[in-house]
Amino acid sequence: MLPITTPAPAHHHRVHDLVAVFRLVSVPSAQLPALLQGAATERPVLPLRTHGRFELVTGFSAVPGVRGRWRARARLHGRGLRLVPYARVDIEITPWSPDASELRLRPVSRSPHAWGIGRLRRYLRLAPVAADALVDHLAELAHAASTSLTATASPEGPAPAALPGAPAGSLVGPSPIVAARSERCAPAA
């Protein structure tokens, strides 16, 4: 009798990709390096509503050998006392198109599949909120940068017209991401 063997899978999923959180950053790829370098120097600590906080530990740095890819390390702090007070995460931002980039947040761990159920649930509760907070933060930085560029525009020649719904003196309208979040998070009347 021949032994029964199972065929090797056509592709292997890394466990980190199974617990990774992906988001689309609606910032032009050309603006991204300046924004990420600015975020690297400030190293923000972003509140995660009532869930905890998101702390950027290392600034964003370009990945050597890969054009346009940026990486940083951060910590997800939950509420309350824990044996492990935070989860270390790796953030990677890669250009996806000329107008957008992909943000990937994944745990820095050899075996997240071996985490206890409480730790895994806490990570899965915090990671999407942290990714949303970072996308909002980058959108706000991009909006502030575009507003400051229009404020320092040369007085020669007519100023370009602002888009509908844009703040006075701005060439771009309010970020759709920030607007959608503020509508969703607004208290009911």
> For the chain, percent helix, then strand, then coil, each to nearest 5?
35, 25, 45
pLDDT in tens, 143-164: 887 776 655 554 554 444 444 4
- Between the ranges 21-30, 43-52, 75-84, 180-189, where is the mean pLDDT highest? 21-30
Across the strands, what pairs with 101?
A: 25, 95
**Which class in CATH covers the domain with range 16-149+167-183?**
alpha beta
pLDDT in tens, 95-150: 989 999 999 999 988 777 778 888 888 888 889 999 999 999 888 888 887 776 65
Q: Which two tokens stand for residue 126?
A: 């915090």
Question: From CA 78, how far away is CA 21, in angstroms rounded?
Answer: 17
| Residue-range domain boundaries for the chain | 16-149+167-183
pLDDT in tens, 46-87: 888 777 888 888 888 888 888 889 999 999 888 876 666 788
Is pLDDT at 165 greater than 70 in this prediction?
Answer: no
Question: From CA 41, how far away is CA 61, in angstroms rounded?
Answer: 11
